[in-house]
């Protein structure tokens, strides 16, 4: 009954007026920060952190955590309505969310997103409460060979993300990998492909790339197409039109279950993060779907899987952060910094020394997720009205926010230049029908794959067998091999059959 | 209204009353303090805290602005080219002022000519930590083991050219041992591998290691400070372990662009000293086991110059390639 006692203690902390208020402020601000393109949780939390200095440690953490997962909820809004990933995590939401909006189903897409986010978040919280210690052990057992094997699987998934020609998909993954090489080499400290520019020493920012490839290019495409002149269709935001039908619930329930599990597992691993969780859940969904051709054209299952996964991962990321004191991402590192300011030493002992903080925070996640659900459903009606703003007013505003978001990440004008360059590149890619998603995933996974491959070899003193002797890594690599083999097998059989058909 | 308030605040700053009266023409507008690291980190939050007290003592707002990139050198470059009027200052460190000249190509500043030291902030030692089941528990035992097994002990680096990397180079150099360096992207993944036993030892700041030492996940072999640290009373210093050359601390201070009028530098230094002596700042430094350092003027410029020479030698000896 330990768990029950812990939860009761948690809720007794989290339902205090001050914590409820902190939670409400956190998730509300988070939602709005998430909606703004390019301004993610990281910027939001660092700007608002000074506000929490006067609060108790628990209230401060509740509020800052609320900004974090709130922004992941909010990030989907701009992705669905404008094809603009408000944060990296919602890049996957663009794939099917935006086509749904183009079909006039913006309300439904937003409602589905909110519900899926809620379900994914809740699943991860349950997991966190019941299995935190064994999960920590899993996260700990992930060394460089395991991370490398995971990125191999991820890269395979990346090349299947796209529509149409697999060759184009693979080519774009490679372009992403190449862009990922830009910057300082972790192993040697040598600058690569920076062309003497010291601004590029830290590499190309994923947010900048995503905003350029998706957001800016979308605006350019619309300027040159006839869509610009046509009148908009009105979006039905009545309850009946938005709430998923029985059939849609049935179609998405499997996706949400898979998304929750995948998101939670990936979220626990330090360094993997919510964006990768969403990418992988989406490509798994496309693989198991009987109608994979619908993906990218407004498949509600793809949207549901990505949203459950990224929110599950966002919550699960707190497991290593709080129980090990090891932050999995920059945002988590910030939250640990906030703990330090309040004089609490993050680390494995936090659960024992400050149980009210730990369990109170977890209980607040429930409350926060519930608040987000209540907050976001009525807001849909307001958000979709954004689409009624004429393009000639809306687009300059969006471009302004994109540039602002790009600049604010590190107060460096070169990022504005880069976002425009990537926008033009994205425009060219759209004309050539080259998919942008695999490129994005290549940039995320490439540097990870290289880093862990080289470190694994360094630690094994150059013995490449380490990837096969470690059980988890061997299992992941075997899965990758099976996927490749089955893809080749099925395409060979198809070709054989096609040949037989023409012969007959 | 605003002027009225700022006058009141100036009057409230007791330490400064005299010097503020002497040079009332400065500062008449907010001071921009460039912190060349990402917002939210320990450096940034600490600067914001100090900025608050600093502003109170100056009678002017001090605005912290983050300009991260290239290990902090982009922010330094920005300030080196700012107007030397005292209204733009920068957070300078061992990394950006002593080590960076030997680590980066095309660095667009000279640590000594392009900056005037205003006041030191503090210095933070490194802890030498090891996986809990390693066969050594003191610096001497580590050195003896590494001499028997050259190149076998793995040492984690939080990044090439970071303060912790330099401290480990210094240690290996002083002890005459060869370690297998394993670079990471920051300290968190490095500690994760150390706790799991995939890595043998690491150098890191007390603020990151304390929790893991307390929980018994890692053991602390020694500290690089001159005196023992309160939080790790049993950990010997490098000097105690017979390695006086391995004593080091990551220092930081505030600097103005070269050519800033000396009387303005004085006003800033007086106010900064008052801020460093405030209770809030003292508290914050104690929490992360950083030492407050009340150094300024010529003493500080000599120190920075000596540090630059010292690290240039160490980095050359270690054979770290410029980027």
pLDDT digits (tens, 9 = 90+) for A218-255: 888 877 765 544 445 566 667 777 788 888 888 888 99
C-alpha triplet A404, A407, A410: angle, nearest 5°: 140
Q: Are A373 and A114 in contact (CB under 8 A)?
A: yes
What percentage of chain A carries pLDDT values higher than 90? 16
Q: What is the pLDDT of residue A272?
A: 65
A349 → closest Cβ in B39, B41, B211: B211
Q: CATH 3.40.190.150: which residues of chain B?
A: 2-123+250-318
Cross-chain Cβ contact A411/B65 below 8 Å = yes
Cross-chain Cβ contact A345/B154 below 8 Å = no
A189 → closest Cβ in B66, B77, B320: B320
How far apart, in Å, are the Cα atoms of A420 and each of A89, A95, B39? Answer: 21, 21, 25
> CA torsion, points A191, A197, A201, A203, in degrees to nearest 10?
-110
The number of C-beta contacts closer than 8 angstroms across A and B is 139
Cross-chain Cβ contact B207/A191 below 8 Å = no
Q: Are A307 and A119 in contact (CB under 8 A)?
A: no
Cross-chain Cβ contact A348/B215 below 8 Å = yes
Residues of A in contact with B211 (CB under 8 A): 325, 345-350
The Cα B303–Cα B297 span in angstroms is 10
Q: What is the pLDDT of residue A237?
A: 67
B183 → closest Cβ in A186, A271, A346: A186
Number of domains in chain A: 1
Residues of B in contact with A326 (CB under 8 A): 188-189, 191-192, 195
Backbone angles phi, psi at B123, to 5 degrees: -145, 140
A337 → closest Cβ in B41, B108, B183: B41
Cross-chain Cβ contact B210/A47 below 8 Å = no
| Domain assignment present for A500 | no
Sign, Cα dihedral of A24, A25, A29, A34: negative
- Min Cα separation A34/chain B (Å): 18
Parallel, antiparallel, or unpaired: how do β-strands B31-35 and B88-93 relate?
A: parallel
The Cα B96–Cα B107 span in angstroms is 10
Cross-chain Cβ contact B323/A347 below 8 Å = no
Q: Quick one: residue A63, left, alpha or beta (phi over 0 = left, psi -120 to 50 = alpha)?
A: alpha
Residues of A in contact with B131 (CB under 8 A): none
Cross-chain Cβ contact A349/B288 below 8 Å = no
Residues of B in contact with A188 (CB under 8 A): 160, 183, 321
Strand partners, B156: B182, B202
| Domain assignment present for A470 | no
Cross-chain Cβ contact B212/A325 below 8 Å = yes
How far apart, in Å, are the Cα atoms of A77 and each of A1, A312, B195? Answer: 40, 18, 40
Q: Are B57 and B77 in contact (CB under 8 A)?
A: no
- Min Cα separation B116/chain A (Å): 24
| Domain assignment present for A446 | no
- Min Cα separation A306/chain B (Å): 26
- What is the residue-wise DSSP string for A229-269? TSPPPPP--SHHHHSPPHHHHHHHHHHHHHHHHHHHHHHHS
B211 → closest Cβ in A188, A270, A348: A348
Thinking of the domain B127-246, which architecture would CATH place it in?
3-Layer(aba) Sandwich (3.40)
| Tens of each residue's pLDDT in chain B, 323 residues | 444 544 444 444 444 444 444 446 888 899 999 999 877 667 887 888 899 899 999 998 898 888 888 888 899 999 999 999 999 999 999 989 999 988 888 888 998 999 999 999 988 888 999 999 999 999 999 999 999 999 999 999 988 888 888 899 889 989 999 999 999 988 888 888 998 899 999 999 888 888 888 888 899 999 998 889 888 999 999 999 999 888 888 899 999 999 999 999 999 999 999 999 998 888 888 877 778 888 888 899 999 999 999 999 888 887 777 77
List chain A residues with pLDDT less than 50: 1, 228-231
Cross-chain Cβ contact B214/A345 below 8 Å = yes
Closest Cα partner for A184 from A198, A196, A202?
A202
Cross-chain Cβ contact A46/B65 below 8 Å = no
- A110 Cβ neighbours under 8 A, 6+ residues apart: A76, A77, A80, A81, A242, A376, A380, A383, A384
| Domain assignment present for A160 | no
How far apart, in Å, are the Cα atoms of A106 and each of A81, A234, A300, A347, A392? Answer: 7, 10, 11, 43, 21
The Cα A372–Cα A32 span in angstroms is 11
Closest Cα partner for B167 from B228, B247, B244?
B247
| Domain assignment present for A302 | yes
The number of beta carbons lying within 10 Å of the beta carbon of residue A475 is 12
Residues of B in contact with A347 (CB under 8 A): 210-212, 214-215
The Cα A449–Cα A441 span in angstroms is 12
**HSE of A408, CA atoms in CB hemisphere, 13 A:** 18
Sign, Cα dihedral of A174, A177, A179, A184: negative
Q: CATH number for the B2-123+250-318 domain, one of 3.40.50.720, 3.60.15.10, 3.40.50.2300, 3.40.190.150?
A: 3.40.190.150
Token couple for A260: 């929750």
Supply the range of the domain harboring residue A64.
2-143+169-432
Burial level of B144, CB count in 10 A (0-12/13-18/19+)? middle
Residues of B in contact with A446 (CB under 8 A): none
| Domain assignment present for A69 | yes
């Amino acid at each position: 009954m330990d768990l029950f006692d812990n939860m009761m203690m948690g809720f007794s902390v989290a339902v205090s007026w001050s914590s409820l208020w902190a939670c409400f402020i956190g998730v509300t601000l988070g939602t709005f920060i998430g909606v703004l393109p390019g301004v993610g949780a990281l910027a939001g939390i660092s700007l608002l952190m000074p506000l929490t200095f006067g609060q108790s440690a628990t209230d401060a953490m509740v509020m800052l955590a609320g900004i974090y997962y709130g922004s992941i909820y909010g990030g989907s809004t701009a992705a669905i309505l404008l094809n603009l990933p408000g944060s990296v995590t919602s890049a996957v939401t663009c794939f099917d969310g935006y086509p749904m909006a183009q079909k006039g189903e913006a309300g439904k897409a937003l409602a589905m997103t909110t519900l899926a986010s809620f379900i994914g978040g809740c699943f991860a919280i349950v997991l966190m409460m019941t299995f935190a210690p064994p999960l920590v052990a899993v996260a700990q057992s992930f060394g460089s060979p395991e991370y490398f094997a995971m990125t191999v699987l991820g890269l395979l998934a990346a090349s299947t993300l796209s529509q149409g020609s697999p060759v184009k998909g693979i080519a774009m993954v490679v372009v992403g990998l190449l862009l990922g090489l830009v910057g300082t080499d972790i192993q040697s400290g040598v600058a690569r492909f920076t062309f003497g520019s010291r601004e590029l020493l830290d590499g190309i920012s994923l947010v900048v790339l995503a905003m350029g490839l998706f957001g800016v290019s979308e605006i350019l495409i619309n300027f040159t197409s006839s869509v610009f002149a046509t009148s908009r269709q009105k979006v039905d935001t009545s309850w009946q039109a938005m709430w998923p039908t029985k059939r849609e619930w049935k179609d998405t329930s499997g996706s949400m279950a898979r998304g929750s599990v995948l998101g939670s597992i990936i979220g626990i691993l330090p360094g993997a993060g919510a964006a990768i969780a969403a990418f992988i859940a989406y490509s798994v969904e496309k693989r198991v779907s009987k109608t994979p051709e619908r993906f990218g054209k407004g498949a509600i299952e793809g949207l549901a899987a990505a949203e459950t996964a990224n929110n599950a991962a966002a919550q699960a990321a707190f497991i290593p952060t709080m129980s090990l004191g090891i932050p999995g991402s920059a945002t988590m590192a910030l939250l640990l910094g906030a703990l330090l300011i309040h004089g609490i030493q993050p680390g494995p002992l936090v659960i024992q020394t400050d149980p009210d903080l730990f369990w109170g925070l977890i209980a607040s996640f429930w409350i926060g997720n519930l608040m987000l659900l209540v907050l976001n459903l009525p807001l849909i009606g307001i958000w979709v009205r954004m689409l009624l703003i004429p393009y000639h007013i809306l687009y300059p505003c969006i471009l302004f926010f994109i540039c602002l978001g790009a600049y604010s990440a590190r107060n460096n004008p070169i990022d504005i230049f880069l976002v425009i360059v990537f926008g033009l590149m994205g425009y060219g890619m759209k004309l050539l029908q080259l998919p942008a998603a695999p490129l994005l995933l290549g940039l995320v996974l490439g540097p990870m794959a290289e880093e862990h491959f080289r470190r694994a070899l360094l630690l094994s003193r150059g013995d490449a067998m380490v990837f096969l002797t470690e059980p988890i890594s061997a299992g992941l690599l075997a899965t990758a091999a099976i996927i490749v083999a089955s893809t080749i097998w099925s395409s060979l059989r198809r070709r054989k059959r096609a040949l037989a058909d023409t012969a007959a | 209204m605003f002027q009225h308030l700022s006058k009141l605040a100036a009057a409230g700053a007791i330490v400064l009353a005299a010097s503020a009266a002497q040079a009332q023409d400065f500062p008449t507008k907010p001071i921009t303090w460039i912190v060349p690291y990402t917002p939210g980190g320990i450096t940034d939050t600490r600067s914001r805290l100090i900025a608050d007290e600093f502003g109170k003592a100056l009678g002017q707002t001090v605005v912290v602005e983050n300009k991260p990139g290239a290990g902090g050198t982009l922010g330094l470059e920005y300030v080196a080219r700012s107007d030397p009027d005292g209204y733009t200052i920068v957070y300078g460190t061992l990394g950006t002022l002593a080590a960076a000249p030997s680590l980066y190509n095309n660095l667009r500043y000279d640590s000594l000519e392009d900056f005037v030291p205003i006041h030191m902030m503090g210095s933070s030692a490194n802890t030498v930590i090891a996986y809990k089941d390693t066969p050594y528990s003191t610096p001497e035992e580590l050195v003896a083991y590494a001499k028997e097994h050259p190149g076998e002990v793995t040492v984690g680096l939080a990044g090439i050219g970071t303060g912790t990397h330099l401290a480990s180079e210094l240690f290996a150099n002083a002890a005459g041992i060869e370690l297998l360096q394993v670079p990471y992207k920051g300290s968190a993944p490095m500690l994760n591998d150390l706790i799991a036993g995939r890595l043998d030892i690491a150098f890191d700041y007390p603020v990151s290691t304390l929790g893991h030492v307390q929980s018994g996940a890692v053991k602390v072999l020694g500290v690089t400070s001159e005196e023992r640290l309160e939080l790790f009373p049993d950990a010997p210093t490098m000097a105690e372990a017979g390695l006086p050359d391995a004593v080091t601390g990551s220092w930081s201070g505030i600097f103005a662009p070269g050519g800033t009028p000396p009387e303005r530098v004085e006003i800033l230094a007086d106010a900064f000293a008052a801020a460093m002596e405030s209770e809030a700042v003292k508290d914050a430094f104690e929490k992360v086991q950083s030492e407050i350092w009340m150094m300024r003027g010529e003493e500080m410029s000599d120190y920075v110059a000596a540090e630059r020479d010292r690290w240039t030698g160490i980095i050359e000896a270690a054979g770290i390639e410029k980027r």
